[in-house]
């Protein structure tokens, strides 16, 4: 068990460019979550998957954001036409099953800086 | 409906105790507690299910008060390694989806 892996660790991009992040969850975990965290704040929910199905997406999430989890394994988060307000740490987490009963294992995150 | 954590920050000397509270305006199914050190990912500490249970984890324990929709995290005989930001995450009735995290409580333990 190598934990949750995220790639890249850091990404600097120019405003207007598209970026894609990857997350490899713990292999036995069915659930995969994407959160965003800015300095001094708690993680903010973006979306989550149960196997390959995307079950919930934050209402605050712009149409510029899209996530996939093909075949229920790794996941990608794409941000199109990045804006400076997208600068944040993007955290991926996985859990065995229902959030009611199982804690999350977080990856180390991808820090995005939009210049 | 983000849970409210208090206090926002606390400074302790080694060996002192602290209590961090997490309150919700909505009915809770469970509460998670995480600790995040600077520049690192949050690490899961424990999960409390509704029913008023109390759990322990070394010298860190927590309780869940279903009537008050509140959970408290207790850190006893604090160690330098306890420093970090503590987040509660709440799961509300009927939802088995995502956690909603509070803004965090920054704990600093001084020698």
Handedness of CA A95, A8, A10, A12 (dihedral sign): negative
Are A43 and B87 spatial neighbours (Cβ–Cβ below 8 Å)?
yes
Mean pLDDT along residues A16-43: 95
* B47 to chain A: closest CA residue: A103
**pLDDT for the residue B29:** 85
- Considering only CB atoms, which chain B residues are within 8 Å of A107? 41
Tell me the average pLDDT of chain A: 93
pLDDT band at residue A97, thresholds of 50, 70 and 90? confident
Ramachandran category for residue A60: left, alpha or beta (phi over 0 → left; psi -120 to 50 → alpha): alpha
**pLDDT for the residue A102:** 85
pLDDT band at residue B49, thresholds of 50, 70 and 90? confident
Task: Tell me: pLDDT of A34 over 90.
Answer: yes
Would you call A33 helix, strand, or coil by DSSP? strand
Mean pLDDT along residues B77-89: 96
The percent of residues above 70 in pLDDT, for chain A, comes to 99
* A92 to chain B: closest CA residue: B41
User: Using CA atoms in the order B71, B91, A48, A19, what is the torsion angle rounded to 10 degrees?
Assistant: -40
Query: Is there a contact between B99 and A45 if contact means CB atoms under 8 Å apart?
Result: yes
Mean pLDDT along residues A36-56: 93
How many CB pairs lie under 8 A apart between chains A and B?
Answer: 65
Task: Tell me: pLDDT of A1 over 60.
Answer: no
Task: Tell me: pLDDT of A91 over 70.
Answer: yes
How many angstroms separate the CA of residue A18 from the nearest CA in chain B?
Answer: 25
Does A44 touch chain B if contact means CB atoms closer than 8 Å? yes
Q: Euclidean distance between the first and final Cα of chain A, in Å?
A: 36
pLDDT band at residue B52, thresholds of 50, 70 and 90? low
Query: Is there a contact between B102 and A109 if contact means CB atoms under 8 Å apart?
Result: no
**pLDDT for the residue B81:** 94
Query: Is there a contact between A45 and B87 if contact means CB atoms under 8 Å apart?
Result: no
Within A25-85, strands assigned E span 31-37, 44-50, 53-57, 65-68, 75-79
Q: Give the closest of A42, A44, A91 to B41, CB-based.
A: A91
Task: Tell me: pLDDT of B22 over 70.
Answer: yes
- Return the CA Rg of chain B: 13
């Amino acid at each position: 068990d190598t934990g949750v892996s995220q790639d890249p660790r850091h990404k600097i991009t120019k405003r207007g460019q598209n970026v894609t992040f990857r997350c490899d969850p713990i292999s036995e975990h069915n659930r995969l979550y994407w959160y965003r965290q800015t300095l001094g704040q708690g993680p903010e929910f973006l979306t989550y998957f149960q196997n390959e199905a995307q079950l919930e997406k934050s209402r605050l999430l712009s149409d510029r954001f899209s996530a996939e989890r093909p075949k229920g394994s790794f996941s990608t988060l794409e941000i199109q036409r990045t804006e400076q307000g997208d600068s944040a740490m993007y955290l991926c987490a996985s859990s065995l099953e229902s959030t009611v009963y199982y804690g999350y294992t977080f990856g180390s995150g991808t820090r995005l800086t939009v210049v | 409906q983000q849970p409210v954590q208090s206090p926002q920050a606390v400074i302790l000397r080694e060996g002192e105790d602290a209590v961090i509270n997490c309150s919700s305006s909505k009915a809770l199914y469970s509460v998670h507690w995480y600790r995040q050190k600077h520049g690192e990912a949050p690490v899961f500490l424990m999960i409390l299910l509704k029913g008023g249970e109390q759990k322990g984890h070394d010298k860190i324990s927590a309780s869940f008060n279903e009537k008050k929709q509140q959970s408290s995290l207790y850190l006893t005989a604090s160690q330098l390694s306890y420093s970090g930001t503590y987040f509660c995450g709440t799961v509300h009735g009927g939802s088995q989806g995502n956690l909603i995290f509070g803004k965090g409580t920054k704990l600093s333990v001084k020698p």
